[in-house]
Amino acid sequence: MTSMSRARVARRIAAGAAYGGGGIGLAGAAAVGLVLAEVQLARRRVGNGTSGHVPHADGLYGRAYAGPGQSPLRLTMLGDSTAAGQGVHRSGQTPGALLASGLAALAECPVQLRTVATPGARSDDLDRQVALVLADPDPAPDICVIMVGANDVTHRMPPTRSVRCLASAVRRLRTAGAEVVVGTCPDLGTIEPVRQPLRWLARRASRQLAAAQTIGVVEQGGRTVSLGDLLGPEFAENPRELFGPDSYHPSAEGYATAAMAVLPSVCASLGLWPAEEERPDASRREGFLPVARAAAEAASEAGTEVAAAMPTGSRGPWALLKRRRRRRVPEQEPAPATPSN
C-alpha cells in the first residue's frame, strides 16, 4: 500500500472515530475466516499477552540529581503489556524504568515513575487507566506515555473505536495538564510464529491503525512515535536478540530499542531537547505536512515523530514530521528505584 493510500485510509478511520462512524474492515471480509484460524494458532504458540510476570518498576529514579526542595518530574506509563514491560525479569529492563532513567539523566532531575499499563489491555481499557491517573490527589503527571494497539488488531476491535478511545484518553490527560506521547501500534507482521497470509494482513492492519492513531492523537494535542521497530524489521532481522522467550514480547534489548525511540519525543514535549534540533531538517525528509500524510509516512518508518504544528487549513490539520536522532544517554551507574508504598 502506498503512503497516499494509507493516508486516505487513516483519514477515513480517524473521521469515523471523530464522528461516530462504524468500523472499517482492515483485512477484507473474504479473509476473515482464514485470519481467525491463523490468529488462534499464533496465540496458542506465543500466548495472548494476558499472563506472565511483569516486574514492578514504580519508584524514584535519578535520586543523585535530587536537591533541596526540588520536586521530581512525574512520568506515567499507560497501555498494554509493552508499556508495562511484560517479557523481562528485572524492573530496570522495563520501558518505564528505561524512560525514567534516561529522562532523569537528560533533565538532571529525579523522575517519579508510575505504571498503570495492564498486560492484555486494548484501547477501550484506557478510560479506566486514565481514571486511575486523574484520581490521584496530586497534580496530573508532567508526562504520560501510552503504548497501545497490538491487542486491538489481534482482537479485531473496529479501528474507529480504537482510535476514538485513544483520542479520548489523550484529550482527558491534556486537559488535566499532562504532556502525552503515544507509541503507536507496532508492526505485528514479524512475530515469528505468524505465517502467511496473516503476516501480510497483520502488517497492513498494524500500519493502518498506527496512521489513524497518529491523526487522532495529534488532533488532541499529543505527539506520536512510530513503534514499527518494536516488532518490525529490526526485530525480524534479529529475532533471537530482540524478542523475549515467548517470541512475542520484546526482550530487554528490544525494550531498550523502543525506549530510545520514544525518549527524544518525551524530552522534546517537556522542552528539554536542544532548540536547534527542533527545526525540521530537509536533508532528513522532515517538514510540515497535512497530518494524514505525516501519519502515513510515520507508520512506515519506526522512530518517526508527528506533532501538531499549524491550525487547520483547506487540507485539514498540519503536523511536523521529525526523524529524531537517537542521542546517547550519559553513561552512569543505574539508580535503583525506590519502590512505592
User: Which residues are known catalytic residues?
Assistant: 81, 246, 249
Angle at the Cα of 169 (from 166 to 173), degrees rounded to 5?
140
Closest by CA to 256, choosing from 235, 278, 275, is: 235
Closest by CA to 149, choosing from 227, 85, 221, is: 227
d(CA 284, CA 286): 5
Residue pair 142/73 in contact by the 8 Å Cβ criterion: yes
Instruction: Name residue, grid cell 518508518.
Output: 301
Sheet holding 179-183, edge to edge: 59-61, 111-115, 73-79, 143-147, 179-183, 223-225, 304-313, 316-323, 287-290
Q: Other C-beta atoms within 10 Å of 212: how many? A: 35
d(CA 99, CA 338): 16
Residues whose CB is less than 8 angstroms from the CB of residue 186 and which lie 6 or more positions away in sequence, other chains included: 82, 149, 150, 206, 210, 227, 228, 229, 230, 231, 232
Q: Other C-beta atoms within 10 Å of 132: how many? A: 12
Helices (H), 47-179: 81-84, 95-107, 126-134, 150-154, 159-175
Residue pair 188/203 in contact by the 8 Å Cβ criterion: yes
The 10 Å CB-count burial string (b at 16+, else e) for 295-304 is bbbbbbebbb
